[in-house]
Homo-oligomer: A and B are copies of this chain.
Protein backbone atom coordinates (compact mmCIF):
# COMPACT_ATOMS: atom_id res chain seq x y z
CA UNK A 1 0.00 0.00 0.00
CA UNK A 2 1.72 3.18 -1.13
CA UNK A 3 1.35 6.10 1.19
CA UNK A 4 2.43 9.65 0.68
CA UNK A 5 4.02 11.58 3.54
CA UNK A 6 2.06 14.74 4.11
CA UNK A 7 3.82 16.21 7.14
CA UNK A 8 0.49 16.39 8.98
CA UNK A 9 1.05 16.00 12.74
CA UNK A 10 -2.12 13.91 13.17
CA UNK A 11 -1.05 11.49 10.43
CA UNK A 12 2.48 11.24 11.81
CA UNK A 13 1.13 10.54 15.31
CA UNK A 14 -0.99 7.70 13.92
CA UNK A 15 2.04 6.41 12.03
CA UNK A 16 4.13 6.20 15.20
CA UNK A 17 1.78 3.66 16.75
CA UNK A 18 1.13 1.55 13.69
CA UNK A 19 -1.64 -0.35 15.38
CA UNK A 20 -3.60 -0.38 18.56
CA UNK A 21 -1.53 -2.95 20.44
CA UNK A 22 1.22 -0.36 20.83
CA UNK A 23 -1.15 2.01 22.61
CA UNK A 24 -2.62 -0.83 24.67
CA UNK A 25 0.88 -1.74 25.91
CA UNK A 26 1.62 1.88 26.78
CA UNK A 27 -1.73 1.99 28.62
CA UNK A 28 -0.75 -1.09 30.68
CA UNK A 29 2.61 0.44 31.61
CA UNK A 30 1.13 3.88 32.30
CA UNK A 31 -1.96 2.95 34.31
CA UNK A 32 -1.09 -0.57 35.50
CA UNK A 33 2.57 -0.06 36.33
CA UNK A 34 3.53 -3.34 34.58
CA UNK A 35 7.10 -2.99 33.39
CA UNK A 36 8.42 -6.42 32.44
CA UNK A 37 7.54 -8.70 29.56
CA UNK A 38 6.15 -11.27 31.96
CA UNK A 39 3.98 -8.80 33.90
CA UNK A 40 2.66 -7.20 30.71
CA UNK A 41 1.74 -10.60 29.28
CA UNK A 42 0.10 -11.78 32.51
CA UNK A 43 -1.96 -8.67 33.21
CA UNK A 44 -3.13 -7.59 29.75
CA UNK A 45 -6.92 -7.66 29.80
CA UNK A 46 -7.29 -8.13 26.04
CA UNK A 47 -5.20 -11.31 25.93
CA UNK A 48 -2.22 -10.04 23.93
CA UNK A 49 -0.18 -12.85 22.30
CA UNK A 50 3.46 -13.15 23.40
CA UNK A 51 4.88 -12.74 19.88
CA UNK A 52 2.89 -9.54 19.36
CA UNK A 53 3.96 -8.21 22.75
CA UNK A 54 7.63 -8.87 21.95
CA UNK A 55 7.33 -7.23 18.54
CA UNK A 56 5.53 -4.13 19.82
CA UNK A 57 7.90 -3.66 22.77
CA UNK A 58 10.82 -3.70 20.34
CA UNK A 59 9.08 -1.20 18.05
CA UNK A 60 8.16 1.10 20.94
CA UNK A 61 11.79 1.08 22.09
CA UNK A 62 13.01 1.72 18.51
CA UNK A 63 10.60 4.66 18.25
CA UNK A 64 11.87 6.19 21.48
CA UNK A 65 8.69 5.57 23.49
CA UNK A 66 10.22 3.05 25.88
CA UNK A 67 13.68 2.65 27.32
CA UNK A 68 15.02 -0.72 28.48
CA UNK A 69 17.13 -1.42 31.56
CA UNK A 70 18.50 -4.70 32.77
CA UNK A 71 17.34 -5.60 36.27
CA UNK A 72 20.60 -6.02 38.24
CA UNK A 73 19.08 -8.85 40.31
CA UNK A 74 17.82 -10.87 37.33
CA UNK A 75 20.11 -10.83 34.37
CA UNK A 76 17.44 -11.79 31.86
CA UNK A 77 14.75 -9.52 33.23
CA UNK A 78 14.44 -6.30 31.30
CA UNK A 79 12.53 -3.42 32.91
CA UNK A 80 10.81 -0.97 30.59
CA UNK A 81 10.45 2.72 31.36
CA UNK A 82 8.26 5.28 29.66
CA UNK A 83 10.20 8.08 27.98
CA UNK A 84 9.14 11.73 28.07
CA UNK A 85 7.70 11.21 24.57
CA UNK A 86 5.46 8.42 25.93
CA UNK A 87 4.49 10.30 29.09
CA UNK A 88 3.39 13.11 26.80
CA UNK A 89 0.65 10.75 25.54
CA UNK A 90 -1.31 11.13 28.81
CA UNK A 91 -3.66 13.76 27.29
CA UNK A 92 -4.37 11.41 24.37
CA UNK A 93 -5.12 8.50 26.72
CA UNK A 94 -7.38 10.82 28.75
CA UNK A 95 -9.42 12.03 25.78
CA UNK A 96 -9.58 8.54 24.24
CA UNK A 97 -10.90 7.24 27.55
CA UNK A 98 -13.51 10.01 27.76
CA UNK A 99 -14.71 9.31 24.25
CA UNK A 100 -14.89 5.58 24.96
CA UNK A 101 -16.94 6.18 28.10
CA UNK A 102 -19.46 8.23 26.14
CA UNK A 103 -19.65 6.32 22.88
CA UNK A 104 -18.75 2.67 23.47
CA UNK A 105 -19.98 -0.09 25.76
CA UNK A 106 -17.15 0.42 28.23
CA UNK A 107 -17.57 -1.31 31.60
CA UNK A 108 -18.42 0.81 34.62
CA UNK A 109 -15.36 -0.23 36.64
CA UNK A 110 -12.89 0.32 33.82
CA UNK A 111 -14.49 3.68 33.08
CA UNK A 112 -13.73 5.10 36.52
CA UNK A 113 -10.11 6.02 35.72
CA UNK A 114 -11.22 7.78 32.55
CA UNK A 115 -13.85 9.70 34.47
CA UNK A 116 -11.32 10.82 37.09
CA UNK A 117 -9.00 12.07 34.33
CA UNK A 118 -11.86 13.81 32.54
CA UNK A 119 -13.13 15.54 35.67
CA UNK A 120 -9.63 16.76 36.56
CA UNK A 121 -8.90 18.03 33.05
CA UNK A 122 -5.49 19.30 31.87
CA UNK A 123 -4.24 20.23 35.40
CA UNK A 124 -4.78 16.64 36.61
CA UNK A 125 -3.20 15.27 33.41
CA UNK A 126 -0.09 17.33 34.22
CA UNK A 127 -0.06 16.01 37.80
CA UNK A 128 -0.28 12.44 36.45
CA UNK A 129 2.57 13.14 34.04
CA UNK A 130 4.68 14.42 36.96
CA UNK A 131 3.95 11.20 38.83
CA UNK A 132 4.94 9.09 35.81
CA UNK A 133 8.17 11.10 35.52
CA UNK A 134 8.86 10.12 39.12
CA UNK A 135 8.34 6.40 38.49
CA UNK A 136 9.96 6.21 35.07
CA UNK A 137 12.50 9.02 34.81
CA UNK A 138 13.63 9.45 38.42
CA UNK A 139 12.03 12.88 38.89
CA UNK A 140 11.07 13.97 42.44
CA UNK A 141 7.92 12.39 43.88
CA UNK A 142 4.94 14.76 43.62
CA UNK A 143 2.88 15.41 46.78
CA UNK A 144 -0.31 14.18 45.11
CA UNK A 145 -0.73 10.69 43.64
CA UNK A 146 -3.12 10.61 40.69
CA UNK A 147 -2.63 6.84 40.43
CA UNK A 148 -3.86 6.45 44.02
CA UNK A 149 -6.83 8.70 43.26
CA UNK A 150 -7.74 6.59 40.22
CA UNK A 151 -7.23 3.37 42.16
CA UNK A 152 -9.58 4.38 44.97
CA UNK A 153 -12.23 5.49 42.47
CA UNK A 154 -11.87 2.08 40.78
CA UNK A 155 -12.21 0.26 44.10
CA UNK A 156 -15.26 2.31 45.02
CA UNK A 157 -16.85 1.35 41.69
CA UNK A 158 -16.07 -2.33 42.34
CA UNK A 159 -17.53 -2.14 45.86
CA UNK A 160 -20.67 -0.52 44.51
CA UNK A 161 -21.12 -3.34 42.05
CA UNK A 162 -20.53 -6.17 44.52
CA UNK A 163 -23.84 -5.98 46.46
CA UNK A 164 -25.75 -6.37 43.19
CA UNK A 165 -23.60 -9.37 42.24
CA UNK A 166 -24.40 -10.90 45.63
CA UNK A 167 -28.10 -10.35 45.05
CA UNK A 168 -27.89 -12.19 41.76
CA UNK A 169 -25.85 -15.00 43.32
CA UNK A 170 -28.27 -15.23 46.30
Contact = CB atoms under 8 A, between A and B. Distances in A.
Interface of A: 1-16, 19-20, 23-24, 27, 45-47, 49, 52, 85, 88-89, 91-107, 109-111, 114, 121-122
12 contacts: A6-B45, A10-B96, A11-B24, A11-B27, A11-B46, A13-B97, A13-B103, A14-B20, A16-B104, A88-B102, A92-B92, A94-B95
Contact of A111 (B9, B45, B95): B9
Per DSSP, are chain A's interface residues mostly helix, strand or loop, or mixed? helix
Contacts of A85: 103
Contacts of A109: 7
A101 B14 contact: no
Nearest to A109: B7
B9 A110 contact: yes
Contact of A46 (B3, B13, B20): B3
A4 B23 CA distance: 16
A5 B12 CA distance: 28
